[in-house]
Structure 1
């Protein structure tokens, strides 16, 4: 699964960078999403492979904080980029005449940089609570295969009021706001399509350009909610591990295949690359 995820996401990046027809905002954000997925899955899976081979699932305090930091940054950037891609589809469908003006290269760079800075803010919010664990016991047992923030919050040895405030603030800022933006964008898209005078076939073709993005949004938030509830409801470690695998491994692996299988531009560019190669 790890090799498939690396291969699929690298293929998306190579395809977008090598075909000039794909040098558009939509595919710019898609290639960055693929790079983030590579970083996200590489934060957890190689460590799991080492633990399985060495039969020593032990991680240092600094290593645990580093892994948690990378997970938060990559997951938050994934979340933000999905919202930015929804906004891109909204502008392309609802304001096509202004698309090139609104989604110019500078705006795309600012949106990408803003996503990264918001991810750093999310990380700092988590550090407020997690860094206090240094005053606790020397040894912790984490009921998962990686140092996720939800697992670390359970190990708090002080008043959990601070950790709850951090969790709710981070969830509202970096969970509810992005999904609200996605829902609002697609509400406007559907309203614009329904008001258009084109035929039903033309309306379906217009909306089908959003199919790949919608599939990834459903996969990302579906697995994220599964991991969140399995962790919050204190279900069995096996259930929690399965939900975590779906979120941290399966989603990055399936994203490039969803885009390549459902997107005509990607498939055309892939055929060109294969024809040049062979």
Structure 2
């Protein structure tokens, strides 16, 4: 049996080493074990870290990068309300497409044409280039998958002619923001008006909707991916001098989100490796 505890080891107001002394003895014993047999303490953390880190190889198959699923509640009321809209206001992208009836953003490619040198996009120099741009986007893939209304592809802009022989819209004949019952606030930008009449407009927006209902949704997605790959070369071939064009699609935000994920994981892995290495090297001193 052990003798009575030394009064110097008891906790009191005068003695505050009652916790430090046993911890010091514990770590002295651990240090003795590490010094006597260091290799298990060196190899085991490395093997354990390598084994756990190997799970990153399966990340592409198991990752959840859907931007809606990541940033919205799983059972949020907005999703239930959207289902109600889909039930009572169904869409038919193949015959009766209507952008205001879409419960989501839809599948689309959008281009914004901005007139150069402060001119108007409705001017005689810029308008023919807008028509050439529209013709370049309407390739066979788009004509096959476009959202249709009244037997033809939905117009990307209400000011674009439905027939090739229609004249250029004269700015003084247009009313803003509503012209002949059509809202132009989303079609024109940088508008200069006088008494409600359009004098000039710096920018014009073109939105090309594709069908996303039924089995054609995947084909529309592939078509948008092809649009993103080829649009830069098409713009270069057009040699546009009077307008500048920017573009984005309904996939742009999702692709940007996925790109951020791919750029963060390597940095996280490097930080994790350096932290473990520093901890192991510190124990060897």
What's the TM-score, normalizing by structure 2? 0.22
Q: TM (normalized to structure 1)?
A: 0.23
Structure showing greater Rg: 2
Determine which structure has the larger strand proportion and give its number.
Answer: 2
Q: With CA pairs under 8 Å and 6+ residues apart, which has the higher RCO, 1 or 2? A: 1
